[in-house]
């Protein structure tokens, strides 16, 4: 299989390069800029893309190994990547007088990278690209063998090429959508210049993944924590395809699941897909451990620890369980690699079954490690999971535990489950002219239980009941989010139904906070 190697110099948008390459059905991996040259050789890339980055090449330790320019494969440098290439090959990079940030126009001359992709042609016959720039430094002198293939007044060397060696550099960012023909440029590089075969398709991927899982696992047994969420469900379906009954899934009901969740998950996996699922009702244990605790972080830690308990207990019941499977996906991998080097504040301790206790002695099986979320969804559909399950909103492991503010009580969980189900039903029922529901137009939506009481009047009688907050957000990566501008009529219907149908709730409010400064979940 042809593979593109992306070396990351620390740009905020490096992941997008990988997305664009994958969209051309070419496999790629993202690695740190200082990947050892032996590893690069072993990876055997069909082409290399160098990302942008925050540093200045003339004063920075962020230097890749120049030997990667002697491998005989095409190289595309983007922004810092172009500057590094110029620097490493004997050109010059200087601090510019003006920082260019945002929309820019680049005038081009004929090159394999740009030909036919220009956005407009001027009366004098010059071609122009509409691009997005974000830089302060610029290449001021070309390395030997290069020519200028794109320029503008503030950046005379906005793109350069050595077509003989198949080296290209662009000062702008083709990976962001603001560069109008950016996707086509990256596809041009990968498919035409590198000559990579577009063979990264789901059916091929399934065959390959199944073969690998069989080879890894052999005759041993695998257990997997099944949450009913997208990632663990798709991982379960894939591993089941590979090793059938050697897989046992453990679905933990902590008493903090959505309405009918347990039945739905059991029905789908055990009955429809023939996957072995152990349904562990641990709700009494979780509730007991959580009793009296009001601190969000402590609640999260209690839930996390209890999860591990259950897994350990269940794996002990199997005879030959040597593997723990997880639905880790590519953004998780990149994020945790980043987390090792960055000193970030802990906002929330995400529960993580991956924190394996030492005495558990299970090896990790993570067949989705290379996939992005939408690829995981595509895979799920290809494996026969129903569309509705695969396109569900994510649901956090601690479940309603982080949506009941303060102390978790069974009665609160029951009220919240009902309110949440009504809200989701109303979102699903509202379709626009294209037939798209508000559920599909939002990235995540749910109800939150507020343990405060307010006064109301129903049927001429006084009520003194709890409050539910509705939350719906739009986001692509869950790192930042906008609150969803739901129609008033939809909010009105959800509110009416919740107050009428859920005895114990007499007030509904809508959360209009973005992330940041708020977070998506309330705890």
Ligand X SMILES: NC(=O)CC[C@H](N)C(=O)O
What is the pattern of x (binds ligand XMP, CB under 6 A) and - over residues 406-425? --------------------
Query: Of 178-237, which residues contact Mg ion (CB under 5 A)?
Result: 227, 229
Q: What are the distances in angstroms from CA 96 to CA 137, 160, 319, 402?
A: 5, 17, 66, 49
**Nearer of residues 57 and 379 to ligand ATP, judged by Cβ:** 379
- In whole angstroms, what is the distance from residue 8 CA to residue 486 CA? 38
Q: Is 232 annotated as belonging to a binding site? A: yes
* Residue of the chain from 2, 4, 7, 11 that contacts ligand X (CB under 6 A): 11
Selected catalytic residue, list 107, 118, 166, 175: 175
Helices (H), 92-229: 182-187, 202-217
Residue nearest to ligand X (CB): 52
Phi, psi of 352 (to 5 degrees): -150, 115
What is the pattern of x (binds ligand ATP, CB under 6 A) and - over residues 215-254? ----------xxx-xxxx-----------------xxx--
Residue 462 CA to chain centroid, in angstroms? 47
Tokens of 491: 């909010």
* Residue of the chain from 2, 118, 137, 426 that contacts ligand X (CB under 6 A): 137
**Catalytic: 175?**
yes
Ramachandran area for residue 511 (φ above 0: left; ψ -120 to 50: alpha; else beta): beta
Can the peptide bond before residue 423 be classed as cis, meaning omega within 30 degrees of 0?
no
- For 56-115, give the DSSP string: -GGG-S----GGGGGSSS-EEEETHHHHHHHHHTT-EEEEEEEEEEEEEEEEE---TTTT
Tokens of 176: 């962001």
350 binds ligand XMP (CB under 6 A): yes
513 binds ligand XMP (CB under 6 A): no
**Catalytic: 187?**
no
**Nearer of residues 169 and 397 to ligand ATP, judged by Cβ:** 397
370 binds ligand X (CB under 6 A): no
Tokens of 469: 């907050």
Residue 134 touches which member of ligand ATP, ligand X, Mg ion, none, C-beta under 5-8 Å by kind: ligand X
Residue 169 touches which member of ligand XMP, Mg ion, ligand X, none, C-beta under 5-8 Å by kind: none
Stretch that binds ligand XMP, among 153-161, 192-200, 312-320, 390-398 (CB under 6 A): 390-398
- In whole angstroms, what is the distance from residue 350 CA to residue 397 CA? 8
Stretch that binds ligand X, among 53-61, 405-413, 421-429, 503-511 (CB under 6 A): 53-61
Order of strands, edge to edge, in the sheet holding 3-8?
27-32, 3-8, 47-50, 75-78, 167-170, 155-162, 147-152, 92-108, 127-141, 120-121
- In whole angstroms, what is the distance from residue 269 CA to residue 399 CA? 20
CB of 304 to ligand XMP, least distance (A): 8
Q: What is the torsional sign of CA 104, 108, 114, 119? A: positive
* Residue of the chain from 397, 426, 449, 499 that contacts ligand XMP (CB under 6 A): 397
Q: Is 230 annotated as belonging to a binding site? A: yes
Residue 231 touches which member of Mg ion, ligand ATP, ligand XMP, none, C-beta under 5-8 Å by kind: ligand ATP
CB of 396 to ligand XMP, least distance (A): 3
**Catalytic: 79?**
yes
Task: Mark the binding-site residues, compressed into ranges.
Answer: 227-233
Known catalytic residues are 79, 173, 175
Task: Mark the binding-site residues for ATP, compressed into ranges.
Answer: 227-233
The binding site for ligand ATP (CB under 6 A) comprises: 225-227, 229-232, 250-252, 326-327, 353, 394-397
């Amino acid at each position: 299989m042809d593979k593109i190697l992306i070396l990351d110099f620390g740009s905020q948008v490096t992941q997008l390069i990988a997305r664009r390459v994958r969209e051309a059905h070419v496999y790629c991996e993202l690695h740190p800029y200082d990947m050892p040259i032996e590893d690069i050789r072993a990876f055997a890339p069909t082409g290399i893309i160098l990302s942008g980055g925050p540093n200045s090449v003339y004063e920075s330790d962020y230097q890749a190994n120049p030997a990667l320019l002697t491998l005989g494969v095409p190289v595309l440098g983007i922004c810092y990547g172009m500057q590094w290439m110029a620097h490493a090959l004997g050109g010059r990079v200087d601090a510019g007088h003006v920082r260019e940030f945002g929309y820019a126009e680049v005038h081009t001359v004929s090159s394999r990278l740009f030909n036919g992709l220009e956005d407009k042609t001027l009366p004098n016959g010059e071609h122009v690209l509409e691009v997005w720039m974000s830089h302060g430094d610029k290449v001021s002198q070309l390395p030997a063998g290069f020519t200028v293939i794109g320029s503008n007044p503030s950046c005379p060397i906005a793109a350069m090429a050595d077509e003989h060696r198949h080296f290209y550099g662009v000062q702008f960012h083709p990976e962001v959508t603001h560069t109008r023909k950016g996707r086509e440029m990256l596809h041009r590089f990968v498919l035409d210049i590198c000559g990579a075969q577009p063979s990264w398709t789901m059916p091929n991927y399934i065959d390959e993944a199944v073969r690998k899982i069989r080879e890894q696992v052999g005759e041993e047994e695998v257990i997997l924590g099944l949450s009913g969420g997208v990632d663990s469900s798709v991982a379960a379906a894939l591993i089941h395809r590979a090793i059938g009954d050697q897989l046992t899934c453990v679905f933990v009901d902590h008493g903090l699941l959505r309405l009918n969740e347990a039945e739905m998950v059991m029905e789908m996996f055990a009955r429809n897909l023939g996957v072995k699922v152990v349904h562990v009702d641990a709700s009494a244990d979780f509730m007991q451990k959580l009793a009296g605790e009001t601190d969000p972080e402590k609640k999260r830690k209690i839930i996390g620890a209890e999860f591990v308990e259950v897994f350990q207990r269940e794996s002990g019941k199997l005879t030959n369980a040597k593997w723990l499977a997880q639905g880790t996906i590519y953004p998780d991998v990149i994020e945790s690699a980043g987390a090792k080097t960055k000193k970030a504040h802990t906002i929330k301790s995400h529960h993580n079954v991956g924190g394996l206790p030492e005495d558990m002695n299970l090896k990790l099986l993570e067949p989705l490690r290379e996939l992005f979320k939408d690829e995981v969804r595509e895979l799920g559909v290809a494996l026969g999971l129903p569309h509705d399950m695969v396109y569900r909103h994510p649901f956090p492991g601690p479940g309603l535990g982080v949506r009941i503010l303060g102390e978790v009580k069974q009665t609160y969980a029951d009220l919240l489950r009902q309110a949440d189900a009504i809200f989701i039903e109303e979102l699903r029922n509202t379709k626009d002219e294209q037939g798209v529901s508000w559920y599909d137009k939002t990235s995540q939506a749910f109800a939150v239980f507020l343990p405060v009481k307010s006064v109301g009047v129903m049927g001429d009688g006084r009520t003194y009941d709890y409050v539910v907050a509705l939350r719906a957000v739009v986001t692509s990566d869950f790192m930042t989010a906008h609150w969803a501008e739901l129609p008033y009529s939809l909010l009105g219907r959800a509110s009416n139904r919740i107050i009428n149908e859920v005895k114990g709730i007499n007030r509904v409010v809508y959360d209009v906070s973005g992330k940041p400064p708020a977070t998506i979940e309330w705890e």
